[in-house]
Structure 1
């Protein structure tokens, strides 16, 4: 065993296959360029300044974040175009937003008249803030309905401190799809909602430059739809077993794995040192449990991680296995975004040889 082999690491450790990551990022970049649209990756998946810079070097026009704290950190690192895809309205956050908007080109989500008025009031003594209306395309989380867009846009004409120039949505309900055909249908519905909303806003007198869609399952299909100007996939940088379960990726496209050790061997089970604090309890997203177990153990189809406690992964064995006490395995997580947030650092490797260690910079940035 070479001294810089991944198998020399203590466990659990978070591994990042650089060749796979680079291939995934190149593919997204090529899709955006082929369709002549922008790419604004969501960094909540990797939470890494260095991976963000890899995306920008490949042509990303800016980034998407979920939280204000993520935006603050990325602006400090030199990122200049940031969409906060979250409806901010509390006094504490708006005060921070005013400061942040002096450091970078910031856009935030608006999804109600009440929120729009609060943001407009907060920015009364500074430059207008760029905002995009978030519309609901079926996830039924944040976002206005299409039939509410006209009222919101009409009201925003009276709010001089807001500069509306974009419409966006997130088709997270695509994670509950049961076929690729259904995912394609969701992508078309996602785009339709954005395009209809943009038309309504333009009829109200706004110039809508940005018609943006997200969701890793749908972005390849939505990118092809005339009128869409931007894609915002996040998970597609890494992929994971949820994406494999949906049929939009294969295990070979999954860049992130967790290195685990066998810590106990019993007659009917193996115990690994990767409990819910390393793998998370996710088995799907937004209503669809599309994976078996709590991660895929590479090269060991006889092993199923059947349950988790905080520090233990309990695996069943369907047939004879070569694994024994202290052996190490790699596990593809079900949900890479959550798992990345559970570790302090990535161990980068090529073909199992460690080449670097990068921080998960935005780990725990939730405010």
Structure 2
């Protein structure tokens, strides 16, 4: 009963089989293999636009390298204060950008809104004494499992573009957002004003499966050098390309996300049937945030369940008693349905 993260599960069998197939024979290295080229073409097909796509091994590298293409070393990147680029990636974005300032903003249930961005931008009045506002970065789906709708992204883009800022999406769980919204990938990326995104697959069935995808291809002009300098140009690059091809082929990436999202809905429905557990945030993707008694939390862990207590500062402490805890559950395409049912049975037993 492991709901600690979607990272705890393994590689989808189709992706693993693709890696095995690519292991036969020889092929050019350092990104010049046919797999990597076809992966870029496939991403263009998925997004209904010619893109430049660069495969990397981690979401941290994808975010840092993407932001480095959007902001100078004296720039500022605005993001949610719980975003991975703000608090979960050490100071990797600052390193890749050469010192740009990552400014975390308090949002609404994990989301940024135009008034939040407009308010902070009003404070940048001192010219060169302030870092130059250079980029806005959102996470979709967010760290609180919420999803940005097309109109919400367009509204943020209007604010960013009015200040000539670039717009980035951290898409570590992008598939879950697309599946939750039932929209086309283009609708919440370039059509809504996104310039570049970190396209994640590791949490959704990949082994090492991330890409930096440029919708504004002019921004990718020197990215080959950025990727190389950042240690992310893989010599046996075919093993990244073949993963991406298998991930996208036949819509596997969305099928996996739909399974994970569906299991999250199933678990959330069961939790709500207990009068001892509250779910204060909408469950939109594959994450659930719940408030439960500490005694029940301890019993569930003792019974073999795995999930995390989460920081109360994200939600606010109002309404959470001293004998309660705020917890996060993450569902994967590979989470056994039997584990969900067993966990709900334990909750019911109290």
Q: Same fold (TM over 0.5)?
A: no
TM-score by length of 1: 0.33
**Structure that is richer in helix per residue:** 2
Structure with a larger share of its residues in strand: 1
Normalization by structure 2: what TM-score?
0.35
